């Protein structure tokens, strides 16, 4: 396995012929970048349970809060690490799986608590966003051979069935109080998009058709019906009867107003994954995925300094110009998927542009991991995040181009 060092981290020469995905040097660089991240985030393991958030040098931050998506994303990411053969990955998976059962799982009301602090509950809400990540963690742990994974899949699937899945529209509702009394009537795209990710992974792990079918219904609503009606932008927020809520503005990070181009990259790639898993029918899915991805790139790319705007208004104009790491990682995954499917020179231009920007401004070559936010001058900013939030987005950007197919991050990994 390639040993990562700051000196060998360079994505590839800009003038190399053909496609970077076909070049041994680029693939070796991707593998080294993934390994560098796995090494850095091992320090997240908190001996007394759960995980630390790390500062830029990899030192644990004093905040004791543990949110469900952080726990589950680390389990998922290090399950991928296990499949790649990363030493010590099993320790992170085991640690996270135990913490999900002992702390996040609500022994009184069922389901999984959103946030813990020390031995207490910091936020007891039951969120679809968090629960689909529990399913993702269970499915990835299953693929890595964890003995408790199937039990976790069964438990969280039952919760999703009972409280979140709405059979009529074929979508997940969003949130409840801890005791399953109504919290709000909000409906959102983000939980459903990550629901597709979890459902497809669960199908690949278990072969249960219900997971694949539900992923298809969600994709049909957002990509076949909603995106074309909005010039291939994806509205984020909806009323309880699944009408677009143009006036909604919630948490500026998790529920910003308008549309979020980073989610278009994710959903476009997930549509290709679903299409691949269903036998590549002649249904126009690749064309829809391309329209979604290309619209987001065109509207969100910062032509002066690089990077991608966080949000757009409903006409495609930049609303929040903040540039975070994760939309770049998701754009890389989306472009890699398009290139795997159909070698087009214009896609290669974007793929190289994205990796070159990430290499110069986002990847921490000294310590590992990616810086989460840049200011207008491409310097590190910390308006929304402290330290490095997680490994999930950035390690997948390195691993997905290495896999052979459109379906799995671990398929054909070196």
Residue-wise burial string across 250-288, b where 16 or more C-beta atoms lie within 10 A, e elsewhere:
eeeeebbbbbbbbbbbbbbbbbbbbbbbeeeeeeebbeb
| Chain segment 377-390, per-residue pLDDT in tens | 999 998 888 899 88
Mean pLDDT of the region 14-20: 88
Residue 387: closest CA among 368, 401, 404: 368
Residue 61: closest CA among 382, 388, 380, 373: 388
Q: Give me the sheet containing 115-117, strands edge to edge.
A: 65-67, 115-117, 120-123
| Chain segment 79-91, per-residue pLDDT in tens | 999 999 999 999 9
pLDDT greater than 60 at residue 199 = yes
pLDDT band at 409 (very low <50, low <70, confident <90, very high): low
pLDDT band at 248 (very low <50, low <70, confident <90, very high): very high
Mean pLDDT of the region 363-371: 96
Strand, helix or coil for residue 31: helix
Task: Give me 120's structure tokens.
Answer: 């207490």
Environment class of residue 148 by beta-carbon count within 10 Å: exposed (0-12), middle (13-18) or buried (19+)?
middle
pLDDT greater than 80 at residue 413 = no
pLDDT greater than 90 at residue 329 = yes
Mean pLDDT of the region 143-160: 98
Q: Is 393 a catalytic residue?
A: yes
Cα 285-286-291 angle, rounded to 5 deg: 100
**What's the confidence (pLDDT) of residue 59?**
96
Would you say 26 and 12 are in contact if contact means Cβ atoms under 8 Å apart? yes
Name the residue ranges covered by the structural domains of the chain.
6-402
Q: Give CA–CA dist 377/325, Å, rounded.
A: 15
pLDDT greater than 50 at residue 7 = no
Q: Give CA–CA dist 206/404, Å, rounded.
A: 20
**What's the confidence (pLDDT) of residue 410?**
59
Q: Give CA–CA dist 137/198, Å, rounded.
A: 8
Q: Give CA–CA dist 174/178, Å, rounded.
A: 13
**What's the confidence (pLDDT) of residue 414?**
55
Q: Give CA–CA dist 303/136, Å, rounded.
A: 35
Q: Is 194 a catalytic residue?
A: no
pLDDT band at 298 (very low <50, low <70, confident <90, very high): very high
Residue 297: closest CA among 328, 323, 275, 251: 328
Phi/psi of residue 278, each to 5°? -95, 15
Mean pLDDT of the region 370-374: 96
Mean residue pLDDT across the chain: 94
| Chain segment 170-179, per-residue pLDDT in tens | 999 999 999 9
pLDDT greater than 90 at residue 225 = yes
Helix axes 285-300, 325-341, angle to 10 degrees: 140
Would you say 397 and 333 are in contact if contact means Cβ atoms under 8 Å apart? yes
CATH T-level topology, domain 6-402: Glycosyltransferase (1.50.10)
**What's the confidence (pLDDT) of residue 175?**
97
Phi/psi of residue 29, each to 5°? -65, -45
Residue 77: closest CA among 59, 95, 63: 95
**What's the confidence (pLDDT) of residue 359?**
96
Residues 263, 361, 365, 367: which is the catalytic one?
Answer: 263
What stretches of 160-258 show up as alpha helix (H) in DSSP?
A: 189-206, 209-219, 227-229
- Look at 196 and 14; give whichever has higher pLDDT: 196
**What's the confidence (pLDDT) of residue 252?**
81
Task: Give me 234's structure tokens.
Answer: 């994806």
What stretches of 51-174 show up as alpha helix (H) in DSSP?
A: 68-84, 89-99, 128-143, 149-159
Mean pLDDT of the region 33-51: 96
């Amino acid at each position: 396995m390639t040993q990562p060092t700051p000196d060998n981290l360079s994505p590839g020469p800009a003038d190399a012929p053909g496609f970077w995905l076909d070049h041994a040097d680029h693939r070796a660089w991707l593998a080294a970048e993934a390994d560098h991240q796995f090494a850095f985030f091992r320090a997240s393991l908190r001996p007394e349970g759960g995980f630390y958030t790390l500062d830029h040098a990899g030192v644990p931050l004093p905040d004791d809060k543990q949110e469900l998506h952080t726990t589950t994303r680390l389990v998922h990411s290090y399950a991928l690490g296990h499949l790649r053969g990363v030493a010590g990955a099993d320790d992170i998976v085991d640690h996270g799986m135990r913490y999900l059962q002992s702390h996040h799982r609500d022994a009184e009301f069922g389901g999984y608590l959103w946030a813990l602090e020390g031995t207490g509950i910091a936020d007891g809400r039951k969120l679809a966003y968090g629960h689909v990540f529990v399913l993702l963690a269970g499915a990835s742990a299953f693929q890595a051979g964890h003995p408790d994974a199937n039990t976790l899949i069964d438990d969280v699937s039952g919760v999703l069935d009972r409280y979140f899945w709405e059979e009529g529209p074929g979508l997940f509702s969003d949130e409840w109080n801890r005791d399953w009394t109504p919290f709000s009537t909000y409906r959102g795209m983000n939980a459903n998009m990550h629901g597709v990710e979890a459902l497809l992974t669960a199908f690949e792990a278990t072969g249960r058709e219900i997971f694949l079918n539900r992923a298809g219904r969600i994709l049909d609503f957002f990509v076949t019906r909603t995106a074309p009606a909005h010039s291939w932008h994806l509205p984020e927020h909806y009323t309880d009867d699944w009408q677009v809520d143009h006036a909604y503005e919630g948490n500026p990070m998790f529920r910003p107003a308008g549309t979020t181009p980073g989610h278009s990259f994710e959903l476009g790639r997930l549509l290709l994954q679903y299409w691949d898993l269903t036998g590549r029918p002649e249904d126009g899915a690749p064309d829809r995925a391309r329209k979604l991805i290309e619209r987001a790139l065109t509207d969100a790319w910062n032509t002066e300094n690089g990077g991608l705007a966080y949000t757009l208004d409903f006409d495609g104009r930049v609303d929040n110009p903040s540039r975070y790491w994760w939309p770049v990682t998701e754009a890389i995954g989306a472009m890699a998927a398009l290139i795997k499917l159909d070698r087009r020179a214009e896609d290669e231009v974007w793929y190289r542009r994205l990796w070159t920007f990430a290499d110069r401004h986002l990847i921490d070559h000294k310590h590992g991991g990616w810086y989460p936010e840049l200011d207008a001058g491409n310097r590190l900013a910390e308006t929304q995040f402290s330290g490095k939030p997680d490994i999930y987005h950035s390690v997948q950007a390195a691993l997905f181009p290495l896999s052979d197919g459109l379906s799995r991050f671990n398929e054909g990994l070196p």
